[in-house]
Structure 1
Amino acid sequence: MKNFKNLLIVALFFVTATVLGQTKITGKVVDQSNQPLPGASVVVKGTTNGTSTDFDGKFSLNSKTNSGTIVVSFIGYKTKVVTFSSSIANLGNIQLKVDENSLDEIVVVGKGVIDLAGGRKTPIAVSTVKAAEIQKKIGTQDVTMTLVNTPSIYVSGQAGGFGDSRISVRGFDQTNTAFLLNGQPINGMEDGKMYWSNWSGVNDIASAVQIQRGLGASKLAISSVGGSMNFVTKTTNKKQGGSFYAGTANDGYLKSTIMYNTGMNDSGWGTSIMLSHWQGDGYNNGTRAQGQTYFISFGYKPNDNHNFNFLITGAPQWHDQNFTKSISTYLDKGLKYNDNFGFYNGQYLTERRNFYHKPVLNLNWDYTISDNSSLSTVLYASFGRGGGTGNRGNRVRTADGLIDYDAIYANNAATGGDGNFDNDAYITRASMNLHSWYGVVSNFEQKINDNLTFNVGADLRTYYGTHFRQVENFHGLTSWTEDRTLKDDNDNKTGPSVSVTATESGKANPWAATFNMMAENQRIDYDNSERISYAGLFTQLEYSTDVMSAFFQGAVSNQSHQRFDRYDYLPEFEDSEKLNNIGYNLKIGAGFNLTESSSVYMNTGYYSRQPYHDNIFNNYDNSINPFSQNEKIFGLEFGYNYKSEFLSGSVNLYSTSWRDKVDGFTDVTNAGVVTNTQTLGQHQYHKGIEFDFIAQLAYNFKLKGFASFGDWKYLGELTTQTLDEDRNLISQSVESVDGINVGDAAQTSYGLGIDYTIFNGFSVDSDFRYYDRLYANVSPTRGELKLPSYGLLDFGASYRLDLGTDKTKWLDFRVNVNNVLDREYISELTSANQTTVGSDTYRGIDTSNRGYFGWGRTWNASVRYNF
């Protein structure tokens, strides 16, 4: 009995000591609006002792020590470390702030193939814009404009019309930046270009846009010389609800959007649908436009191991276009002047209309094989249909420079209805570009141990494109006839001469182009196709600890190219030779955590990039350019990142060398002799430094800023060759281009922005950005021309009105004013004519130079009802 009492006393002592040595920690986790965050993680630092917050954001946790720190985290928010002690155990409200660059809460499926910063632990230079920011600020602009307040980004071409903007990253144009949609590459297979009018619906369907400058996190065998831009679309939403949007803007712009989510049912099924329509007259004269966007997503999660999502989306649109003009023309006729349109019997007609419909389908499958292994796969397809219109025949203009359609109809009537190049007739033709693109990207990930992760995958694509011209509008004619002489297998026009007479037309309408294709005997000027097939393998090995991380990425790919010409060749010579090119890339990097808040990294990589199809077949026939070769790119970058509760920022230094670029042929006819000119051995070297930060100066005041200082130049000499039709060398010259600045993007840019919440629900924001050292977009053999510097100020205001006490329904009101000060500026030039004695100038620039002025003051207003 005595032994039992002693044992009981000892047990009681240990229990008491344990209880007295514990601290019960309580608190509530909330967001920046003081709304609870259910499911937030709360862990005692350095232990596995943790819990999750309840529906009201509250938690209770016992600690074995009297003092220490807890780590509070929630997807999409910045992690917060809070100190506790036995005397301060009730921590009250713990407020988490949104992580601007986090996409963890966005990517529901496709995590293994959507290469985003954060998926790989070794840092990169990155900026992220989420759906709320896109919807708030984009207005009538292209999605490219969401990134103008980030370092080393320059957007131009807006003055061309809806969807005609271009984006440059670190001084490299769109052909040297990789663009991906949910993990699938979307750069043009033929030329690497991006046509943003085809993606006008991205504004509505994007959950986020992330720009990775430089080497990026992509594991694919793609050449992200300037960087890579990832569009993450919405997928099937797990919650039931929807929204309705209505917006208006300057120049007759109207837009409406409706979206509804069924939510996931008990069987794991869900559907999300979005439909949108927009139209407007355009900022510049004669740039009317109209389009729709549709998005349908089906999600299915049968169990915890499998997650499927199928979506189909498209953005059929047409938009009228404006082309570059001389500065003197703008000064004479107004900065909105456009001469690509006119009137017939008082009704508007345009000569230049782009129309396109590109449905995209993809199926994502995420398979969790085990706790340590997973497989992600995306199957995709796209079908592009459409083109662009232009003149063919005898164009007539009015005294003020517009197209005189009344005179054109009169001339056509005088021909008796049968038009050709010899009888002053005129038609509007459409240059058609059609394609079918199928692909699959699959990535297997194996966690070897707590520190080491291995990835391996494949990227397979096949593309078939068709290009021809057809009559879009006869303007009173009944037919149009053209003569042509067929070529032999040596590209000589020794075959018979034949005539093509077109009697059918196809309207410049994206929906009509989707379901109708002109017969081959009705095609004029040209008719050719190409088959491009691509097979790539990639791998990644990453090692990480609490202190450091390191990775290796490697990829190899083969591209095959073949061209088919039905218009210019005898039937037996329609098919070109088939060409295969091997390319590869290697990337390595390492990152080190200096403290809990700061880290440094270094990445380097080398690319051997295959030439694009249009650089292989660059003379509009089946002849292969003998000088096409792989381009060589070497990149090196260093960075420092800092992240705390109130301040986050980064500094990035980069160096990129790009060698062996071959420019395309230019046909020149001199006394009946056709010659071809090309440049070889282009070498560009881009280096620079970038800064960006976000500071939460008060609970209701945020300050943002960025700056980039680049030094982008051509190096060495450029070889120019002139060849005859049989590719025999006629002449060759070598010209030094050393030290000439690369044009088409501002080498210096910086800006500041503020977000200020005046009271709950009402906030204002403003952004200012400044551009300097912007040079004309011309060949380096033509020298350089610096454009005037300029700065732009934007302003916006938002008001949210909650409907009901449960905060599940609300109205969002938004107003934007861009270029508030109505600053007049030149956004780009495509010539570099130097000022001479007696020449007219505009801000020091010879007015004979051609280009675009940027938009003046514009505005947009909208209301969104969420339910």
Structure 2
Amino acid sequence: MKKITQFLFAMAVLLCSAVATSQSTVTGTIVDGELNSPLPGANIVEKGTTNGASSSFEGTFTLQTNASSGQLVISYVGYSTITVKFNGDQDLGEIKLMPDNTLDEIVIVGGGVIDLAEDRKTPVAVSTIKAKEIQEKAGNWDLPEVLKSTPSVQNIKAGGFGDGQMFLRGFDQTNTAFLLNGQPINGMEDGKMYWSNWSGVMDVANAIQVQRGLGASKLAISSVGGTVNIVTKTIDQKEGGFLQQMLGNDFFTKTTAYYSTGVNQKGWSFASLLGYWQGDGYVDDTDGQGQTYFFSVGYTPNDHHTFNFLLTGAPQWHAVAGSGDIQSFLDNGRKYNSWTFDGVDSPNTLSSGKYPGGRNIYHKPVANLSWDFTINDKSSLSTVLYGSMGRGSFAQSIGSVDYARGSNNNHNWYGLVSNYNNQLTENLNFNVGADIRLYNGIHFRDVREFITVDSVQANSAYNNNQDYYLTEAGGINPWEVFFKPNTDHLQRFGYDYEEQINYGGIFGQLEYANDSFSAFFQGAFSNQSHVRTEYLFTSTPGEGEKSDKVNNLGFNVKGGLAYELSDAHRVFFNTGYYSRQPFHDTLYQNNRTGNALLQPEAENEEITGFEAGYQFHGGRAISANLNAYHTTWDNVTKYRNNGENGDDYISYQTMGVKQVHYGIELEVMTRPLDNLTLNGFLSLGEWQFKDNANQRTFDNDGNQIGGDEEIVIDGFSVGGAAQVTGGINGSYMICPRFSVDAAWNWYNDMFSVGALDEAPLSMPSYNTMDAGLSYKVMVGSDNKSLQFRFNLDNLFDEVYLESVSGNLGASSNPDENYKGINTGNTGRFGYGRTWNFSVRFNF
């Protein structure tokens, strides 16, 4: 027995010795490869395990490994990930990580059609916001709010959830192209963007790139001010996900969950996201509610092919904020809603609650199938097939709360974008592709909800004096609206028409680049056709009558060159010309004349752009971009109406409008201390109307009232956005994984919008300060973490006029003016102090 005990003891000693010798202690210091300064909070993981550590404020780390030798994977946000070997107890010394300011770390499927600026050697004026900043700064805002600290961008919140507007170099959203993974998402009829339809974009965005001016896109898209590329999650290389809970002002709450399997050994990957939000809204009676869903499946069978299917949507409803005169806001406060009424007999009260002015309801699922085909070392083909089905309505109570009338804007949209790339020689690259879009818009009024009645008699004035009754209700919930659309033309009234807009284009690009010089030439040609089908103003309501097809040809050409003076200095020059087809809504009379075309028809718009730039890259310590631009938007037709007033329906067609926008933009990025980043920008613009225009007035039957009228607009300033903007933003790391950041933005030289033929008003300038705190706690030893984020926007509660609509000059009575603006004008004040707080568990 004694011998057995001795034997077991000896074996235990040997086993412990073996275990001890299989462990190692590895130390080192993580530093910036350019500045040779420490990187606190870097992640160090033993490859093939969940064993990990983080670097200290001095960049040092100590990791107890479970093997005598192996590899460490070292990563840090904004830097390239590296793998280093260790052998036993070892001090690895300084480990240098190189800054990675590109999008290389993001897996992009269908990248050949996304048109990121980094895909081309010849540069453009561009700013890129990555996932980390989007996650921290987005909070409970829409996408434009995240972009406001970039040159020549301004965001107008506008009141309700998702009702914001973005301006780029003075051009509104109809003249800025928005792309989602290469798919155009501006409205085909009018170019508009409704952020309430895209409330889930911030949850799934990997990066957002703003290309100002001519941009790098090869498509013949509706871009005058620039292009915004939204790149979403598709395939994640590693398994992981997150759970996040957010709270905000005015009882805002949002819950989000995301999980990705990563790519398995057979090349498959799956990812999904679900989210839910609700809140009362900053403005009185602008509550809303919505969900977000996202599903992606990827398959990489071999090195030549990658496939990805993506489905995402954000069904939502929100009450809207009415406009009002400035004096009403001064009397009632910034949260005032002019469409707020008290009592159950309010004409703006739906049965499910108070929704002043009405409820916006929409559900727009988007699906796309991407295929990346690497043909050989020199050539590749990238194709995206996409589709969306928008279903939604603006529901508003009519009469003494009799029923909720719905103004419906539905659509079916399908498209294909394909691009073939060939590296012809070491210095010469060639692209060619196609862009096809098929769009069916469906517009009508119906009953969304019966409140105090069971049926509604359609007004005979709207259907050739043939009365009929509406007995079906379409609902005021976005899921109900989507799955139970009203397809019965005899259950519609007011207006009922469809449009078919088909677009086909081809594009190509040739670029030459060597070590110091690059040049490119781009061209695109397209045809856009329009057919309008009227269902209400016909001899027999419900039976459609089609218009003649209208075809418009368009094209664009762009070219540019760049020269690298040294490793730190580069200059470039780009120029381009667009012949852009008019929007559908400027071709047809939007009144009771059915399919009648406006005469004369709107012609193609002419857009000419010039831009020059200088780029300085002094490493991580400092870099700067200086851009100058000149854009002429000419031969524009604007069509507007004064709405319905009894039997009167007055509309205006203004032709030959010309705007000239020019300016300079400076952007500086610095890191004066190891734990401090400090950035700033300044944009100086001059945006004016040039020459006079010709205007026609039409009655409700489409007949011109009076003759053509020349309206004097030459020299008027373009309103809507600040022509001079600036900002400073920075981040300071107090200790590893704990940082504070702030952003100050200044807006000056602003003007009102209103009737074209009246001079705009000069608005007072304003500035805002936003601040935030981030703290990250590591949970366990496998890179799980808890992230805490707090945002406080408009820190000093600045009171400012965000927008003014009107041309009423200042009153001689000072009490009737606010900072020089007549309080009788329609306006809106910006939000006061707001906040949001989130907790996110990463796994």
For normalisation by structure 2, the TM-score amounts to 0.87
Q: Which amino acid counterpart does residue 543 of structure 1 have in structure 2?
A: Y
Q: Does 1:134 align with 2:109?
A: no
Instruction: Give 1:737 shift.
Output: 1.4
- Contact kept? 2:107, 2:236, Cα under 8 Å: no
In 2 relative to 1, CA 392–669 (structure 1 residues): closer, same or farther, beyond 3 Å?
closer
SS of equivalent to 1:511: helix
Instruction: Give the drift of 1:734.
Output: 1.4
Residue segments in structure 2 that go unaligned for 5+ positions in a row:
1-27, 34-38, 48-69, 83-91
Query: Hey, what's the Cα distance between the residues in 1 that align with 2:305 and 2:490?
Result: 50
Counterpart for residue 360 of structure 1? 366
CA 1:295 to 1:676, structure 2 compared with 1: closer, same or farther past 3 Å? closer
2:244–2:255: 8 Å Cα contact kept in structure 1? yes
Contact 2:314 2:363 in 1 (8 A): yes
State whether residues 76 and 104 of structure 1, in contact with CA within 8 Å, keep that contact through their aligned partners in structure 2: no
Match of 1:121? 121
In structure 2, the CA distance between the partners of 1:671 and 1:309, relative to structure 1 (3 Å rule), is closer
Task: Supply the distance in 2 between the matched residues of 1:728 and 1:537 (Cα, whole angstroms).
Answer: 39
- Residues 428/790 of structure 1: CA separation in 2 closer, same or farther (3 Å cut): same
Give matches, 1:249-328, under 5 Å: 249-328=248-327
Please say if residues 713 and 758 of structure 2, whose CA atoms lie closer than 8 Å, have aligned partners that are also in contact: no
Distance 1:190 1:37 in 2: 52
The residue correspondences of 1:186-585 to structure 2 (distance < 5 A) are 186-342=185-341, 343-344=343-344, 348-350=353-355, 351-393=357-399, 408=400, 426-484=402-460, 496-518=464-486, 519-571=488-540, 574-585=545-556
CA contact (8 A) 1:30 1:37 kept: no
Whole-Å separation in 1 of the counterparts to 2:634 and 2:153: 22
Which residue, out of 607, 610, 615, partners 1:636?
610
Q: Which SS does the other structure have where 2:146 is aligned? A: helix
Query: CA–CA distance in 2 between the matches of 1:106 and 1:200?
Result: 22
**Could you tell me which of 606, 631, 651 is aligned with 2:577?**
606
Per-residue CA deviation, residues 165-221 of structure 1 (Å, 9 max, x unaligned), is: 000100001111000000010000000000000000001010011110000000001
Does structure 2 retain, via aligned residues, the 8 Å contact 1:451–1:544? yes
Q: Residue type of the partner of 1:363?
A: L
1:624 pairs, out of 571, 588, 597, with 597
Distance in 1, matches of 2:459 and 2:472, equals 17
Instruction: Letter of the 2:596 partner, please give it.
Output: S
Is 1:751 aligned to 2:757, yes or no? Answer: no
Displacement after TM superposition at 1:130 (Å)? 1.0
SS in 1 for 2:502: strand
Letter in 2 for 1:364: S
Structure 1 residues 338 and 315: CA distance shift in structure 2, 3 A? same
Letter in 1 for 2:392: G
Which one-letter code corresponds to 2:473 in the other structure? Answer: S
Residue 390 of structure 1, CA deviation? 2.4
Contact 2:440 2:498 in 1 (8 A): yes
Q: Secondary structure at the match of 1:704?
A: strand
Partners of 1:112 and 1:181 lie apart in 2 by: 13
Distance 2:293 2:615 in 1: 39
CA contact (8 A) 2:462 2:494 kept: no
Q: CA RMSD in A?
A: 2.5
Structure 1 residues 392, 92: CA separation in 2 closer, same or farther (over 3 Å shift)?
A: same
**1:446 aligns to what SS in structure 2?**
strand
Q: Aligned pairs, how many?
A: 763
Deviation at residue 56 of structure 1 after TM alignment: 3.0
How far apart are the structure 1 equivalents of 2:747 and 2:288? Answer: 29
Give the Cα–Cα distance (whole angstroms) in 2 for the partners of residues 113 and 451 of structure 1.
Answer: 21
Task: Write the deviation string for residues 137-178 of structure 1: whole angstroms up to 9, x where unpaired.
Answer: 11111111000001100111x242000000010000111100
Of residues 731-740 and 279-288 in structure 1, the stretch that sits farther from structure 2 once superposed is 731-740
Say which SS state the counterpart of residue 614 (structure 1) adopts.
Answer: helix
Instruction: Give the SS at the match of 1:753.
Output: strand
Q: Which amino acid aligns with 2:485?
A: M
The 3 A distance-change label for structure 1 pair 155 and 290 is: same
In structure 2, distance between residues paired with 1:325 and 1:676: 23
CA deviations on 1:19-68 (whole Å, 9 max, x unpaired) are xxxxxxx99887844446999xxxxxxxxxxxxxx94369xxxxxxxxxx
Distance verdict in 2 for CA 1:548–1:77, change over 3 Å: farther
1:705 aligns with 2:711: no
Change (3 A) 1:92 1:57: farther
Aligned to 2:96: 94
* TM-fit CA distance, 1:651: 0.4
Identity %: 46
2:67 match: none
Q: After the TM superposition, which of the residue ranges 670-679 and 521-530 deviates more from structure 2?
A: 670-679
State the distance in 2 between where 1:675 and 1:75 align. 57
- 1:665 deviation in Å? 4.6
Verify the 8 A CA contact 2:245 2:254 in the aligned structure 1: yes
Contact 1:454 1:542 in 2 (8 A): yes
- Alpha carbons 1:695, 1:702 under 8 Å: kept: yes
Q: Does the 8 Å contact 1:723/1:729 carry over to 2?
A: yes
Match of 1:417 in 2: none
**Are the structure 2 counterparts of residues 805 and 74 from structure 1 closer, same or farther at C-alpha, using a change threshold of 3 Å?**
closer
Inter-CA distance 326–28: structure 2 relative to 1 (3 Å threshold) = closer
Report if the CA contact (8 A) 1:482-1:500 is conserved: yes
CA distance in 1, matches of 2:642, 2:182: 39
Partners of 2:607 and 2:589 in 1: how far apart? 22
Q: In structure 1, what is the equivalent of residue 821 of structure 2?
A: 845
Secondary structure of the residue aligned to 1:521 is helix
SS of the residue 2:219 aligns to: coil
Q: CA–CA distance in 2 between the matches of 1:137 and 1:341? A: 31
Matched AA of 2:561:
A
The secondary structure found in structure 2 opposite 1:113 is helix
Preserved CA contact (<8 Å) 1:648 1:694: yes
Of 500-509 and 645-654, more deviation after overlay is shown by 500-509
Distance 1:358 1:669, change over 3 A: closer
Aligned residue identity for 2:94: G
Q: Deviations over 1:68-93 (max 9, x none)?
A: xxxxx99964899xxxxxxxxx9933
3-state SS in 2 of match to 1:135:
helix
Q: Which residue of 1 aligns with 2:16?
A: none
- Aligned residue for 2:475, secondary structure, equals coil
CA distance in 2, matches of 1:506, 1:681: 42
Which moved further from structure 2: 681-690 or 128-137?
Answer: 128-137
Instruction: Call closer, same or farther: CA 1:502–1:263 in 2, change over 3 Å.
Output: same
> Hey, what's the Cα distance between the residues in 1 that align with 2:698 and 2:320?
35
1:765 aligned residue (741, 759, 762): 741
CA contact (8 A) 1:207 1:234 kept: yes
SS at match of 1:328: helix
* Letter paired with 1:529: E
Structure 1 residue aligned with 2:716: 740
Deviation, 1:465, is 1.1
CA–CA distance in structure 1, aligned partners of residues 646 and 282 of structure 2: 43
Distance 2:645 2:830 in 1: 38
CA contact (8 A) 2:533 2:595 kept: yes
* CA-to-aligned-CA distance 1:247-290 (integer Å, 9 cap, x gap): 10110000110011111111100100110001000001010001
Q: Which runs of 5+ in 1 are unaligned?
A: 1-25, 40-53, 59-72, 81-89, 394-407, 410-425, 488-495
User: What do residues 501-526 of structure 1 show as CA deviations (whole Å, max 9, x unaligned)?
Assistant: 11221221110011012222111211
| SS of equivalent residue, structure 1 residue 757 | strand
Task: Give the whole-Å Cα distance in 2 for the aligned partners of 1:832 and 1:605.
Answer: 35
Deviation of 1:677 (Å): 2.8
Do the aligned residues in 1 keep the contact of 2:80 with 2:97 (CA within 8 Å)? no
The aligned counterpart of 1:178 is 177
2:757 partner SS: helix
Q: What is the letter of the counterpart of residue 719 of structure 2? A: G
TM-score (norm 1): 0.85
